[in-house]
């Protein structure tokens, strides 16, 4: 693979930022074509630390979250990128996003909240807790919702 590495270094070294982004977008579809969800997830777990090296998460999180929320299937933002990556993988492919989010979100919040101003932090936490309780209890009976909220309160007040 030494010759291939040398060729890639030469080729990529001559490319501009826009050319690299365009190439990445084109190549991702071909690269991930025969991979299972587990294969892609394993690769992401290996790549993320390298990709995140030297990045200030406090600066990046608001932009990333806005991109994720606004991206959708239009191809813009992280959600669009993930959607393209998983295209053609009905069912199992879309299960990857909730699994990723449940692992990433607590880590991101742990990194982000301590540096936020107190007033902004309190407002953010209140909004998140409200959203989590509302969406987490969606479709539950009143009794189930009461039990759910009781569990949340118990966990929070420990």
pLDDT digits (tens, 9 = 90+) for 15-51: 888 888 888 878 877 888 888 888 888 888 888 777 7
Spatial separation of the C-alpha atoms in residues 100 and 113, rounded to whole Å: 20
Stronger pLDDT, 8 or 67, i.e. the higher one? 8
- Whether the full predicted model's pTM is greater than 0.85, yes or no, is no
Report whether pLDDT(91) > 50. no
* SS3 call for 141: coil
Q: Are 113 and 127 in contact (CB under 8 A)?
A: no
Among all chains, which residue has been given the structure tokens 């074509």?
Answer: 33
């Amino acid at each position: 693979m030494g010759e291939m590495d040398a060729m890639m270094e030469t080729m990529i070294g001559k490319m501009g930022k826009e050319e690299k982004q365009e190439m990445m977008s084109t190549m991702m579809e071909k690269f991930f074509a025969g991979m299972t969800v587990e294969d892609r997830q394993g690769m992401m777990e290996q790549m993320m630390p390298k990709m995140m090296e030297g990045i200030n998460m406090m600066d990046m999180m608001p932009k990333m979250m806005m991109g994720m929320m606004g991206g959708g299937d239009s191809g813009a933002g992280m959600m669009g990128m993930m959607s393209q990556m998983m295209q053609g993988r009905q069912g199992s492919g879309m299960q990857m996003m909730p699994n990723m989010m449940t692992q990433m979100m607590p880590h991101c919040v742990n990194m982000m909240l301590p540096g936020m101003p107190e007033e902004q932090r309190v407002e953010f936490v209140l909004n998140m807790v409200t959203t989590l309780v509302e969406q987490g209890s969606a479709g539950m009976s009143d009794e189930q919702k009461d039990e759910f909220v009781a569990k949340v309160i118990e966990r929070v007040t420990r």
